Amino acid sequence: MESHFPSDKNAPSKFSKEEDEISPKTLETCRDMVSALPRENGWKAYGDICFYQGFWCYSYLLEGAIFAQDHYKAQPTDIFICSVPKSGTTWLKSLTFAIVTRTQFDNSTSPLLNQNPHNCVPLLEIDFSRKGIKPEPGSLPLMSTHLPYASLPKSIIDSGLQEPMSLEETFELFCKGFSDYGPYWDHLLGYWKASLEQPEKILFLKYEDLIKDTSFYVKKMAEFMGYPFSLEEEKEGKIQDIVQFCSFENMSNLEISKTGKYSSDSILVEIKTLYRKGKIGDWKNCLTPEMAERLDKITEQKLGEFGLSFAKNDA
On whether the CB atoms of residues 48 and 39 are closer than 8 A, the answer is yes
- What's 4's DSSP letter? S
Measured distance between the N- and C-terminal CA atoms of the chain, rounded to whole angstroms: 34
| Nearest one of 59, 98, 115 to 263, comparing CA atoms | 115
Radius of gyration of the chain (CA): 19
What letter represents residue 76's amino acid? P
Q: Is 118 annotated as catalytic?
A: no
Backbone phi, psi, residue 91, to 5°: -65, -45
Query: Cα 289 to the chain's mean position, in Å?
Result: 29
On whether the CB atoms of residues 154 and 92 are closer than 8 A, the answer is no
Angle, CA of 66, 306 and 158, to the nearest 5°: 35
On whether the CB atoms of residues 50 and 62 are closer than 8 A, the answer is yes
From the list 4, 118, 146, 187, the catalytic residue is 146
Strands (E) located in the chain: 15-17, 39-40, 49-52, 55-58, 79-82, 133-135, 142-145, 261-264, 267-270
* Burial classification of residue 129, based on how many CB atoms lie within 10 Å of its CB (0-12 exposed, 13-18 middle, 19 or more buried): buried
55-58, strands of its sheet edge to edge: 39-40, 49-52, 55-58
* Residues designated catalytic: 146
